[in-house]
Amino acid sequence: MSCVDDLFEKLKAKDLEGLTRSDLKKFEEKLRQERIGRDADSVIDRANELGDEEVILAFREKRQAALNRRAQVRAIQFVQKTFPDDLALGMEAIQVGVNIARKRSKMSADAAARRLFRKYARGVETDLRKADVFEEFRKNVYDREEADALYRLGKGLDTSDIPEPAVKIARVMKKYEDLSRADANAAGAWIANLPGYIISQSHDMFRIRRVDFKTWRDVILPKLDQELTFKEFAHLRLEDAKAYGVQVEKFLNDTYIALSSGVHLSGAGMDSVELPRGVRGIGGDVASRMSASRVLHFTDGLAWFDYNSQFGINNMNQAFLFGLRRMGQNTGLMQVFGPNANANRSAIMATLLRTKDAKQRGRLDTAKKKLMNQW
């Protein structure tokens, strides 16, 4: 029996008040086990299968609150203990690191991000070389076929008609996408497995701007899985075809405006579109941005690739590595500052500013603007 079965029973019964600190600790331990490969069963996917979105959202909020408190306490204790004579320097140490001889003075969010990306990049190269497909990957020989293979692998479909090197590359890519997702979830995100996921979706606002809405719409609409992309008003498809068409047009027009204006780049990165419908997050911080639902769902890997070739990053492997780097950056930030990194940093700074040492307060106040602009 799983150590989190009691938690699942409480979620099914909508007994959020009955959740204890022990339940949350068991949940985090389960995620850590998944991260190091000891358990292939995703606890987040199991929780999502309970089907009550409001209960899951409330649990996510409760979990994030606990992780945020832990991050604040750890950071404050570290700064006060390691940098008692210079609290401002301590804040800099946990953000970007400082080059002085003090315990854990280089264990910053920035260092964590770089460490994670090195782990992913080195693992990718090692596995590609073992599979004897590194050169094909480096030269982008099978970009379109890789997208096809990734989609099919995620859906559990047959890949026998795809060139073998492309399938080998896709397996390596999927392995490290899954690993980066597990790392992010262990740090505070809530990213469910999405069958058929390829890589972080790219949208080049400059390429999109070159065409008008109707041209963009006519390219993307046949490539979209309409049941998933327009699921919030899918019931209209049979009930009222005209009303359904109006909703589709409005949805796509809103999406076009967001993509062509760069709204989708404002913090969330290039794999989600910040629109009123289709994205569900908590509080607009790191974990919420990473956990946001995909807005545009494509019919298959080839449709995804063809769209991105025209309106996104048309270098498959560059986009893959870019996605891993961004995942590492966000996860490293959460590992140090918690899921709501911005709010936690402000809370940590406010606590440190309560020091009775006037000189320390002055240094912190001076450093505050600089530190707040570092990410």
What residues contact residue 289 under an 8 Å CB cut-off, 6+ apart?
267, 268, 269, 272, 281, 330
- Residue 168 to residues 137, 149, 165, 182, 279: CA-CA distances in angstroms? 10, 9, 5, 21, 33
How many angstroms separate the CA atoms of 294 and 344, rounded? 26
Counting every residue written for the chain, the total comes to 375
pTM: 0.85
Which pLDDT score is estimated for 275?
Answer: 33
Q: What pLDDT digit, counting tens, does each position of 201-259 carry?
A: 778 889 999 999 999 999 999 999 999 899 888 888 888 889 999 999 999 999 999 89
Q: What pLDDT digit, counting tens, does each position of 160-181 carry?
A: 999 999 999 999 999 999 999 9
Which pLDDT score is estimated for 311?
Answer: 94
Which pLDDT score is estimated for 51?
Answer: 60
Q: Give the rounded percent of residues in the chain with a pLDDT score beyond 70.
A: 89
Annotate the chain with three-state secondary structure: CCCCHHHHHHHHCCCHHHCCHHHHHHHHHHHHHHHCCCCCCCHHHHHHCCCCHHHHHHHHHHHHHHHHHHHHHHHHHHHHHHCCCCHHHHHHHHHCCCCCCCCCCCCCHHHHHHHHHHHHHHHHHHHHHHCCCHHHHHCCCCHHHHHHHHHHHHHCCCCCCCCHHHHHHHHHHHHHHHHHHHHHHHHCCCCCCCCCCCCCCCCCHHHHHCCCHHHHHHHHHHHECHHHHCHHHCCHHHHCHHHHHHHHHHHHHHHHHHHHHCHHHCCCCCCCCCCCCCCCCCCCCHHHHHHCCCCCCECCHHHHHHHHHHHCCCCHHHHHHHHHHHHHHHHHHHHHHCCCHHHHHHHHHHHHCCCCCHHHHHHHHHHHHHHHCCC
Cα-based angle 251, 257, 260 (whole degrees, multiple of 5)? 130
Name the phi and psi angles at 35, rounded to 5. -65, -35
- pLDDT block averages, 10 residues each, the chain of length 375: 73 81 84 65 77 81 92 95 93 88 77 95 98 97 97 97 98 95 91 87 88 97 94 86 93 92 50 34 58 79 94 88 94 94 93 94 89 73
Which pLDDT score is estimated for 19?
Answer: 80
How many angstroms separate the CA atoms of 263 and 105, rounded? 36
CB atoms closer than 10 angstroms to residue 263: 16
Torsion of CA 157, 160, 161, 163, to 10 degrees: 110
- Residue 60 to residues 15, 188, 363: CA-CA distances in angstroms? 14, 9, 37
